[in-house]
Amino acid sequence: MSHEEFNEIRSFRDNEVQDAVARIAANEQFQMIAAYLFGKEQAPAFLQKFQQMRTIHEFQGNIILAFLLHLQKTTTKGIRIENLDRLKHTANLFITNHRDIVLDSAFLNKCLFEAGLKTSEIAIGDNLLIYPWIADLVRLNKSFIVKRGGSRRDLLQNSIRMSAYIRHDITERQESVWIAQREGRCKDSNDRTQESLLKMLALSGDGCIAKRLAELHLTPVAISYEYDPCDYLKAKEFQQKRDNPDFKKSPADDLMSMKTGVMGNKGRVVFRICEPMDGFLAQVERDVEDKTIQPAIIAQEIDRRIHANYELYPCNWVAADCLLNTNEYTQHYTPEEKTAFETYIQQRLDMIDLPNKDEDFLRERILTMYANPAINYLKTLSTKSNI
């Protein structure tokens, strides 16, 4: 596949930065957001600085990093990354559980940038690119576009192109790539890797799926937020879909989720690099003769590694006890922490506006979101990789 075929989806290059920042800065919506974030008095200075950016590295270091440090200070109790020593290659395919539309990849790149490592390219669905200036902004921030619509033929062609682009990024440009383990956020925190994602990644390259994925240096990363700012919105959506199977979120709903996730309280945030999959994939290639079951085996191992590397907080253990109606995990939290989390849950329920509000159902949904990381972690204690 020629590199020109990537132009529609690829991230921007340095020679495209000047025109892109000029287009974005001239947009009235972006100007309003700048005024909201920095205040009307400081916004002009920010916009002037914004337009002075000339390279992607400069843009990420001066604009994106400054914004993420502001978010870290105002919406978290700290962000840390662990096990960077496990990264043995210049370019890796980071595959992570997916909690926040914007910040999963942004905070990971912040951690990599601060550690002196190259930031990763980011896969982002075109359904989130509601306005042209948003598409410009994310492509400045090393994002490439995942085309989701169209006919079956279109979907296949888009998948082939994206697979080729990711391989080109990692093996030729030596750029790492971030991709979520599934399409869309996991609403109930029961993180599972979609086999279809692995099949898409393996549309390029030669040999069996395990060999093709090994060439991408597949590296799972576990992301753990203490609190999910969108928990009440996710619970609301669960009831809306329960009551109306045809319910679909609007672009305005997506925008609300993006804003809430970015600006809301997240508590402590931990990124934990899992053991890279190179050795496991080589073993699958060697020992699994039935190539059709390779994606399932690989997906299960990615899940096991992510689950085993969660950072678990008192709220996860409280939720597990409340959901399962036990006192089995009381050693992981104090009575005060339990009371505080129960108060938090009620506050989130109070924020849900539905005409036929089913509070028992909504409570169960929010408890499930917080309990599943602990439940999945406990399962890894008694399971091993199936090769």
pTM of the model: 0.94
């508590």: which residue's tokens?
267
Q: Do you know the residue count of the chain? A: 387
- DSSP summary character for residue 275: P
Question: Model confidence at 2, in pLDDT bands (50, 70, 90)?
Answer: low
Instruction: State the CB neighbour count (10 A cutoff) for residue 171.
Output: 15
DSSP H helix total and E strand total for the chain: 17, 7
> Could you tell me whether strands 218-225 and 267-273 are parallel, antiparallel, or unpaired per DSSP bridges?
antiparallel
Q: Model confidence over 229-273: pLDDT tens digits?
A: 999 999 999 999 999 999 988 878 888 888 899 999 999 999 999
Report how far residue 117's alpha carbon sits from residue 111's, in angstroms, rounded to the nearest whole number: 9
Domains within the chain, CATH numbers bracketed: 1-27+80-225+268-311 (3.40.1130), 229-265+313-387 (no CATH)
**Residue 141 class from Cβ within 10 Å (0-12 exposed, 13-18 middle, 19+ buried)?**
buried
- DSSP summary character for residue 100: -
Helix axis angle, 65-75 relative to 103-114, nearest 10°? 110
Report how far residue 345's alpha carbon sits from residue 215's, in angstroms, rounded to the nearest whole number: 44
Mean pLDDT score, 138-160 = 92
Q: What is the pLDDT of residue 383?
A: 79
Mean pLDDT score, 114-141 = 92
Q: Is 223 helix (H, G, I), strand (E, B) or coil?
A: strand
CB 379 within 8 A of CB 307: yes
Structure-block tokens of residue 241: 């879909």
Q: What is the pLDDT of residue 15?
A: 97
CB 229 within 8 A of CB 260: yes
* Residue of 262, 224, 206, 197 whose CA lies nearest to 372: 224
* Residue of 194, 185, 270 whose CA lies nearest to 234: 185
Report how far residue 313's alpha carbon sits from residue 143's, in angstroms, rounded to the nearest whole number: 31
Question: Model confidence at 101, in pLDDT bands (50, 70, 90)?
Answer: confident
């090769």: which residue's tokens?
387
Bridge partners, 223 (sequence order): 271
Q: Model confidence over 345-361: pLDDT tens digits?
A: 999 999 999 999 999 99
């849950």: which residue's tokens?
345
The CA R_g of the chain, rounded to the nearest whole Å, is 21
Q: What is the pLDDT of residue 371?
A: 98
Report how far residue 123's alpha carbon sits from residue 142's, in angstroms, rounded to the nearest whole number: 9
Report how far residue 385's alpha carbon sits from residue 387's, in angstroms, rounded to the nearest whole number: 6
CB 99 within 8 A of CB 186: yes
